Amino acid sequence: MVADTAIWRDQLTPAEVAQLGRGAGVIPLSKPDILVVGGGIAGVATAAACHEAGLGSVLLIEAGRLGAGATGGAAGLLTPEPHEWSDPQPFVDLARASLDRWSLLDQSVPGGVGLVELDWIGLAPDPGGFAPHLQPSVEWLDPADVASLVPGLARPMAGALIRHQARVNPLRSLARLAAGLPAVATGIAAVSVTVRGERIASVSTTSGAIQPGAVVFATGLPPLLDGLAIDLPASQVKGHLLATEPTALRLPGTVAPVATQLEDGRLLVGGTFDTGDETPQVRPEVIDSILAGLYAALPAVRGLKAAYQWCCFRPRHPDGRPVIDRVPGLANAWLTSGHYRTGILMAPITAQVLCHWIGAGQPPAEADAWSSARFGDRRPA
Ligand SMILES: Cc1cc2nc3c(=O)[nH]c(=O)nc-3n(C[C@H](O)[C@H](O)[C@H](O)COP(=O)(O)OP(=O)(O)OC[C@H]3O[C@@H](n4cnc5c(N)ncnc54)[C@H](O)[C@@H]3O)c2cc1C
């Protein structure tokens, strides 16, 4: 629960807060067609997609509250385009398709999922700061353009503007998606599985056994359950974030790497990459360094205080990319893990890939790049 002090929960309505703790300690369905283990954004989006697709009865279980893991502490940015500079094409394609799906969800889910469209401006201290490779969505800004869009910068900088990106309050999106699910149980952890032949016959939980037709593990890191032979290399990378008091300064959406402005004028700043720090506590010195970076970039907000400060852990595979796959050796179990820095962005398309695969029995084309086989077959002989 390291993200408990994040700003997101305070922005929710009481009905949305109630959704996050739905079905506490009670399994409403012991023989679901599909059991989803893990109530972060990947699990909730997958359960919602399977339910919408009419794949039968869907039960979601979560060890804590919905959003108790990385999801509850994420910045919530849905910005696929800048990944063109840093990631391979299949990743960028998946990210773009996922932002499209976020827009569809915002239209189809009652009340929407809280999608906020924003412009992304990346600051480059020197003109060579961005690779020469240009996607059509980028508008180049000279220092005068940047200065007119981002008032109060410490020094003139060129930049890149990308329109039509987005962000969400990740807990609001979770709550809105979960509201459409008939069967959600929180405070229930999967503990072990019983495998018969090539199928999971039963999942033992802290509140009794479940006999599912199919299982999706969306546990952030790969699931560690007795009886389940999954051995994927993975680790966690801690990150700190803060939200300031409201400020009168107006930023256009996200100004990377400085800040993102929220609805009420607060600035969302971070997150850090605190490699090697496994402690769940917020470190005041990291918060101070985030604030120092903000003041150095934007002297106009010097003295603005952090009203919220929190940290959480990004689940990561060694290549920094997710796994979206059938569990090796099993016919009725799937997993998604290691969404690292972009799990909120990638959730709807991940859900779609898994839902198609479960429904059709065949992997969709997008799944190829995200197989766990890229780490070799590490199952015990
Ligand atoms: C500082 C920071 C900033 C970030 N910013 C962004 C961003 O701007 N945009 C973006 O797209 N991504 C961002 N991320 C990444 C994003 O938070 C993660 O990639 C995403 O939340 C992963 O979602 P998930 O559902 O896979 O995992 P999680 O949110 O960790 O959910 C997994 C859930 O499974 C549950 N669980 C685990 N084991 C069991 C079990 N045995 N039984 C039952 N339940 C179980 C856990 O309790 C947990 O709730 C950020 C992350 C951090 C740390």
Q: Is 228 helix (H, G, I), strand (E, B) or coil?
A: coil
Give 199's strand partners. Answer: 196
How much is the pLDDT for 147?
Answer: 94
Tokens encoding 155: 């020094």
Q: What is the C-alpha separation between 151 and 154, in angstroms, rounded?
A: 9
How much is the pLDDT for 85?
Answer: 87
Pocket mutation for ligand 1, best pick of 46, 77, 278, 314 (most atoms within 8 Å of C-beta): 314
319 within 8 A of 372, measured Cβ to Cβ: no
Pocket mutation for ligand 1, best pick of 168, 342, 370 (most atoms within 8 Å of C-beta): 342
Centre of ligand 1 from the C-alpha of residue 221, in Å: 8
Burial 70-105 (b: 16+ CB within 10 A, else e): bbbbbbbbbbbbbbbbebeeebbebbbbbbebbbeb
Q: What is the C-alpha separation between 261 and 242, in angstroms, rounded?
A: 12
CB count within 10 Å of CB 265 equals 14
Q: pLDDT in tens for each of the 381 residues of the chain? A: 557 899 999 999 999 999 999 999 999 999 999 999 999 999 999 999 999 999 999 999 999 999 999 999 999 999 999 998 889 999 999 999 999 999 999 999 999 999 999 999 999 876 666 665 667 789 989 999 999 999 889 999 999 999 999 999 999 999 999 999 999 999 999 999 999 999 999 999 999 999 999 999 999 999 999 999 999 999 999 999 999 999 999 999 999 999 999 999 999 999 999 999 999 999 999 999 999 999 999 999 999 999 999 999 999 999 999 999 999 999 999 999 999 999 999 999 999 999 999 999 999 998 989 999 999 866 555
Residues with CB under 6 A from ligand 1: 37-43, 61-64, 68-71, 73-77, 189-190, 218-220, 223, 239, 241, 270-271, 312-315, 339-345
Could you give the strand order of the β-sheet that contains 183-186, starting from the edge strand earlier in sequence? 183-186, 58-62, 34-37, 214-217, 333-337, 323-326
Centre of ligand 1 from the C-alpha of residue 70, in Å: 3
Q: Is 324 helix (H, G, I), strand (E, B) or coil?
A: strand
- CA separation, residue 311 to residues 158, 231, 259 (Å): 31, 27, 16
Cα dihedral value 189, 194, 200, 204, nearest 10: -20
The tokens 């969505």 sit on which residue?
A: 137
Residue 119, Cβ density class (10 Å: 0-12 exposed, 13-18 middle, ≥19 buried): middle
Instruction: Give residues with Cβ within 8 angstroms of 240, minimum separation 6.
Output: 270, 271, 272, 274, 282, 283, 286, 287, 290, 309, 310, 311
46 within 8 A of 226, measured Cβ to Cβ: no
| Angle (CA) 219 221 225, round 5° | 65
Name the residue type at position 42. Answer: A
Pocket mutation for ligand 1, best pick of 341, 346, 353, 370 (most atoms within 8 Å of C-beta): 341
Q: What is the DSSP string of 87-106?
A: S-HHHHHHHHHHHHHHHHHH
**Closest atom of ligand 1 relative to the 38 alpha carbon:** 34
Centre of ligand 1 from the C-alpha of residue 240, in Å: 14
How much is the pLDDT for 4?
Answer: 82
- In 3D space, the residue among 124, 103, 125, 126 whose CA is nearest the CA of residue 115 turns out to be 103
Centre of ligand 1 from the C-alpha of residue 47, in Å: 15
Q: Whose Cα sits closest to atom 41 in ligand 1?
A: 190
Q: Is 148 helix (H, G, I), strand (E, B) or coil?
A: helix
- In 3D space, the residue among 194, 236, 240 whose CA is nearest the CA of residue 333 turns out to be 194
Cα dihedral value 125, 128, 131, 135, nearest 10: 80
Torsional class of 298: left (φ above 0), alpha (ψ -120 to 50), beta (otherwise): beta
